[in-house]
Structure 1
Amino acid sequence: MAHPARLLSAFALSGLLLVADLAPALAGEDQPAKQAFGAVQLPTAGPATPYGFYSKGCMSGAVALPTDGPNWQAMRLSRNRRWGNPAMISLLEQLSRDAPKVGWPGLLVGDIAQPRGGPMVNGHASHQLGLDADVWLTPMPAKRLSVQQREDKPFVSMLQKDKFLTIDEKAWTPAHARLLMLAASYPQVERIFVNPAIKKKLCDSWTGDRAVMGKIRPLYGHDAHFHIRISCPAGAAGCKPQAPVAAGDGCDKSLAWWFTKEPWEPKKPATPTKPAPPPRPMMVSDLPKACAAILDQPAVVDEAHATYGGVAAYVDPGPVPVSATAKDLAPKAGAAPVPEDDVPLPAAR
């Protein structure tokens, strides 16, 4: 009998090979990048290479996170956004193996990237190189979710609904803190984005080693999931790195700014001006030159690669050294089991 993970993977991607040849021919034709990359259903073959910056680029040779692993389940399969650089897929698998050690049963993994990266029609400004991934702040359930359940399962915010940027103590647990600090402890992780209230909660309550606390960065919109960003892989000359995180734990004035009115209130011009014209959409020609060629490359046609994410295409590096100690991250007795970015402005309070 076929393994359940293989059946689910095959079901989730059964239509991809049938539509691989339906992506529009883009040679010599410039068009909005969101639509161009969103129309491609499968990755290219060949080496995994990111081109450009996290919020303005693309990738070749992506592999897919399998729909199921021992300690993870991929969510929202219909989006076709579980493709990434092998370094990111390996990191997610490592985090899923280590998470139970800190009292977190497993990961629900959200968006990583499109098959060839690039801008998305909705949802993200970054996630374009296969080096970003979203992990839900909901622990993986003991049972395997069906495809439909993975589409319908609601997000659970860590914030109170009736108080501005205030943690919901009924939703938040010490295990959430241990998972975030574990994710930040891997050396290849550049940043972890969380809601400012979550960052403040960590600043106020974490009693272990704070050496990697500075990697955890406040950013609106990340109250039901956290966003992992890893560094450009070694030798990826076309990948543009971001500025290093500032020294310190980030529990300072830079965090306090997020709780002021300034991020919310639009700046008033000194003199009345005409309404600004709508922004020009990002075109394929605005991306690194390699991206147009990547769009035109033939899709990988190996069904095993498409379904199982090319597991044989990369070598698992094994345990990754962490800077936090086991004592720092271990569950306490009686604990509950369980930049250069475009900063999104929040909706009205």
Structure 2
Amino acid sequence: MKVFLFTFALAATLGLGGAASAQDKGTVDPKPLPPLANPDDPKTAAKDLFGRKTTPANLQARAVGFYTKGCLAGAVALPVNGKNWQVMRLSRNRNWGHPELIDFLERLAEKAPTVGWNGLLVGDLAQPRGGPMMTGHGSHQIGLDVDIWLRPMPDRELTRREREEMMSTNVVRPDKLDVDPNIWTPGHVGIIKAAAEDPRVERILVNAAIKKALCRDAKGDRSWLHKVRPWYWHNYHFHVRLGCPKDSTSCKPQPPVSAGEGCGDAELAYWFKPKILHPEEPKADRPRKHMTMSALPAECRQVLMAD
């Protein structure tokens, strides 16, 4: 139990939500949130403030703070349709990112068909001004994170209802010890490899079974594997995180990933222990602490209040 509580707390710190939150259905008829009674109250949760902003801050583009404690100025929206991508869960309005993230996705989508992947179904990026979210992630706050579904794009434009209700594909076996051979394809390897090879990508988070499969299936140059890190859940999507852009001097980077492929038996063994594969669920009544504006960089108040 102590192991689980530690790892669950670590997951919360790193802001790495589970597959369930990524798969939550949206709505074809989203309603605006009611105004806050006292938005200037210093005890107001930052998520309630940033979650009500529907447009980006008209400021120079920059990522502010850390991936789990920051905001985003000058965000750019990823168009909901592209030549080789479609944005999912439109009702969330989370298709915003730093311009570097938008460029990364457009380039990855262009490359997708050349690596055996039909196109990208894109999940959450960030809110229009980044910041904490009312549901789901603890990260995705500074416009440098994106979830890409492990289900390839179909050969047609999805309807609005499909984008809100369609589920991604769980590529992991029920016993969680490996990928499902009836679902896993060379295209999965190809698209994750293509993402990892972009020099702007700092790390990619996948389920441990996926990491295991990548270690087994990768051919030729394997230098990209060190960026791909096992993490809880992430069996329906892979999470791409860019490093801090040069234009974002107040962006706080993560420590670099450790050297090596991360494919050794000892390195992977931890993730397949019974307590890790089948953790106890946290108590539903455990109180959650929510960040207020005082916990975010001071610059985020300017981002929140900008036109």
- TM-score, normalised by the number of residues in structure 2: 0.83
Q: 1:27 to 1:295 in 2, by over 3 A?
A: farther
Of 279, 282, 288 in structure 1, the residue corresponding to residue 291 of structure 2 is 282
Shift of 1:29: 4.0
Which residue, 156, 161, 164 being the options, matches 2:176?
164
Match of 2:242 in 1: 230
Quote how far apart the aligned CAs of 1:277 are. 7.3
SS at match of 1:58: strand
2:116 paired with 1:103? yes
Aligned equivalent of 2:272, options 242, 259, 268:
259
Rounded to whole Å, the distance in 2 between the matches of 1:165 and 1:239 is: 37
Letter in 2 for 1:120: M
Give 1:292 deviation, angstroms: 1.9
1:119, 1:126 within 8 Å by CA — same for their partners in 2? Answer: yes
Tell me how far apart the structure 1 counterparts of residues 304 and 180 of structure 2 sit (CA, whole Å): 44
The one-letter amino acid of 2:233's match is G
- Using the TM superposition, give the Cα deviation of residue 279 of structure 1 relative to its aligned residue in structure 2, in angstroms: 4.2
Shift of 1:53: 0.5
Q: Does residue 68 of structure 1 match 2:77? A: no
Unaligned runs of 5+ in 1: 1-11, 267-275, 299-349
Q: Whole-Å Cα distance in 1 between the matches of residues 259 and 299 of structure 2?
A: 35
Provide closer, same or farther for how the CA distance between residues 13 and 130 of structure 1 changes in structure 2, counting only shifts above 3 A: farther
CA contact 1:26–1:295 (8 Å) conserved in 2: no
Tell me how far apart the structure 1 counterparts of residues 37 and 268 of structure 2 sit (CA, whole Å): 45
Q: Match of 2:22?
A: none
- Identity within the alignment, %: 47
Hey, what's the Cα distance between the residues in 1 that align with 2:94 and 2:231? 21
Measured after TM superposition, the shift of residue 262 of structure 1 is 5.2
Matches within 5 A, 1:42-61: 42-61=55-74
Structure with max Cα Rg: 1
The amino acid that maps onto 1:237 is T
1:302 maps to which residue?
none
Q: What letter matches 1:296 in structure 2?
A: M
User: What are the superposed Cα offsets for residues 10-67 of structure 1, whole Å, 9 maximum, x if unpaired?
Assistant: xx99999xx7996888457441112111111111112111111001111111011001
1:1-349 equivalence runs, <5 A: 26-27=39-40, 29-161=42-174, 163-252=175-264, 253-261=266-274, 263=276, 278-298=287-307
Deviations 1:222-277 (A, max 9, x none): 111111100101031110001111110011223221111454667xxxxxxxxx97
76-85 vs 114-123, greater mean Cα deviation: 114-123
Distance 2:35 2:286 in 1: 34
Please give the alpha-carbon distance, in whole angstroms, between the structure 2 residues aligned to 1:212 and 1:164: 24
- 1 CA distance for matches of 2:303 and 2:185? 43
Task: Evaluate the alpha carbon distance shift between residue 281 and residue 23 of structure 1 in structure 2; reply closer, same or farther with a 3 A threshold.
Answer: closer
Structure 2 residue identity aligned to 1:84: G
Unaligned 5+ segments in structure 2 are 1-26
Aligned AA (2:291): M
Distance 1:111 1:24, change over 3 A: farther
- Residue 294 of structure 1 aligns with an amino acid whose one-letter code is V
> 2:173, 2:28 → 1: CA distance?
37
- The answer to whether the 8 Å contact 1:72/1:109 transfers is yes
- Residues 1:132 and 1:23: Cα distance change in structure 2 (over 3 Å): farther
SS at the partner of 2:104? helix
Contact 2:70–2:142 under 8 Å retained in 1: yes
Tell me, in whole angstroms, the C-alpha distance in 2 between the residues paired with 1:166 and 1:14: 38
Measure how far apart 1:132 and its partner are: 0.3
Report if aligned partners of 1:285, 1:292 keep a CA contact under 8 Å in 2.
Answer: no
The normalised TM-score by structure 1 is: 0.74
Shift, 1:280, TM fit: 2.8
User: 1:131-169: per-residue Cα shift (whole Å, max 9, x none)?
Assistant: 0001111111111011111111112100123x1333111
Distance 1:262 1:148 in 2: 38
> What is the one-letter code of the residue matched to 2:82?
G
Distance 1:282 1:144, change over 3 A: same
Q: What is the SS of the residue equivalent to 2:223?
A: coil
CA–CA separation in structure 2 for the residues paired with 1:15 and 1:48: 28
